Structure 1
Amino acid sequence: MTHSAYVFDAYGTLFDVHSAVGRHAGAVGPQAATLSEIWRTKQLEYSWVRTLMGAYADFRQLTEQALDFALEKVPSVDRRLRNDLLAAYSSLDCYAEVPGVLRELKASGAKVAILSNGSPAMLQAAIVSASLDHVFDAVFSVDAIGRFKTDPATYRLVTSAWRLEPSAVSFQSSNRWDIAGATSFGFRTVWINRTGQPDEYPDLPPSLTLPNLDGLLAGA
């Protein structure tokens, strides 16, 4: 392995953010995919706006607010599903290749960590639910500094804790905006482009683009 540390975004990279609605798709109805997209989009928008305003609220609160907006936006969905959907978000499905890739990286001697907007409690619940609680050397939550990615201070959580230069860290995310921020900070970046999205930030390119984490082992 060529890097001292492999750090992963959580939501969308390790955990399928759409699995919460997917788990209740029958009850949600034909607008399930629409509801899930709105929920995710507003969740991220709230994180960026609050960081710009300097008015932090933890990711759990933003997740709840975003779901409330999505339910208002898609009135055909029964609002009584709110609690079930939030509970499902605490135990999101991880992608199939995730456990094997993480364990192989850890076995190689590299440090393995999460760096996420998620609150510590949210992340711990997702990790335990996916049986990944013995894989990570650290779980870095932006809650520690009260600012969301892509603020440079969020990426500095890793380098400060582990006393590493940014170039020693390989950072993996499915979110292109996150890859842009991490590239600007100086990480080696791997964009996990699971859904074949076009590039949004050509001036801040990833070091590598993959359709899932499996290719990370070959290119690590």
Structure 2
Amino acid sequence: MSHAAYVFDAYGTLFDVHAAVRKHAGEMGPEGQAFSDLWRAKQLEYSWIRTLMGAHADFWTLTEQALDHAFARFPSADPKLKASLLDAYWHLDCYPEVPSVLKSLKSRGARIAILSNGTPQMLQSAVKKAGLDLIIDDIFSVETVRAFKTAPAVYDMVTTTYRLYPNVVSFQSSNRWDVAGATKFGFRTVWINRGDMPDEYADFGPSLILPSLESL
């Protein structure tokens, strides 16, 4: 079934959030992956807590704060790497299949968009680095509504802008909690389960589960 719009989460779905630490793997040492996992976990935790508190700060600020926490938790990591890691986060690698899949969907006449917690500047940088700027039609950032996913107002940006009913929008995310929020909103959802993780949020299940975007 084709849809009027295919909307993608950015971080973890189109762009590899662990690429920044991996780029400096030699300097990070054996705890690099654990460091990267914590950085990502705290980045998301801070977004949820701030939305619940009604105390918004942009995603770049939270990314920096989460990185500071990771350095505090991993004394073996050299804090002098902070600037390099943050710079790498502006230029994350996209997953190998992303360009061809998005081109194929666009060729069917569908709108292609990103809906992300990232700031417009972060997203534009990542899109340009990946060479996706001529494929993606629109970038929706939570900065417009000043609340992070899974706030319904985030998903509503797409339907309001495109004047579409939610069920004709296909939303893809590697984050199961994000899929739950989008399902509750009414999108057709696809969980890109890159890490072969167990399912959760059973009452808000995806329409489809895929290991990558390749079979979309």
- Normalised-by-shorter TM-score class: over 0.9
Moved >6 Å (runs of 4+): none
After superposition, the C-alpha distances for 1:44-75 in whole angstroms (9 at most, x for unaligned) are 00000000000000000000000000000001
> CA separation in 2, counterparts of 1:170 and 1:80?
42
Structure 1 residue 107, shift from structure 2 partner: 1.0
Deviation at 1:36, TM superposition (A): 0.1
Structural mapping, 1:34-183, within 5 Å: 34-183=34-183
1:204 equivalenced with 2:207 (yes/no): no
Aligned partner letter, 1:117? N
Q: How far apart, in 2, do the equivalents of 1:169 and 1:213 lie? A: 16
1:215 is displaced (CA, Å) by 0.9
Question: 1:137 Cα shift?
Answer: 1.1
SS in 2 for 1:171: strand
Counterpart in 1 of 2:15?
A: 15
Q: State the Cα RMSD in Å.
A: 0.5
Counterpart-to-counterpart distance in 2, 1:171 and 1:9: 8
Distance in 1, Cα, partners of 2:157 & 2:100: 26
Task: Letter of the 1:5 partner, please give it.
Answer: A
Q: Distance in 1 between matches of 2:157 and 2:2?
A: 21
Whole-angstrom distance in 2 between the partners of 1:128 and 1:71: 29
Cα deviation, 1:101-141, whole Å, max 9, x if unaligned, reads 00111111000000000000000000011111111111000
User: What is the alpha-carbon distance in structure 2 between the residues aligned to residue 20 and residue 203 of structure 1?
Assistant: 34
- Taking the aligned partners of 2:202 and 2:212, their CA distance within structure 1 comes to 20
Query: 3-state SS of the aligned residue for 1:215?
Result: coil
TM superposition shift of 1:2: 1.9
Separation (CA, whole Å) in 2 of partners of 1:209 and 1:81: 36
Tell me the distance in 2 between the aligned counterparts of 1:28 and 1:18: 12
**SS of aligned partner of 2:164:** coil
The CA deviation at 1:155 is: 0.1
User: Take 1:80 and 1:45, find their aligned partners in 2: how far apart are those partners?
Assistant: 25
Query: Unaligned 5+ residue runs, structure 2?
Result: none
CA shift for structure 1 position 34: 0.7
Q: Deviations over 1:129-161 (max 9, x none)?
A: 111111111100000110000000000000000
In 1, the alpha carbon distance for the partners of 2:30 and 2:196 equals 24
Distance across 1 between alignment mates of 2:200 and 2:73: 26
Whole-Å separation in 1 of the counterparts to 2:53 and 2:185: 21
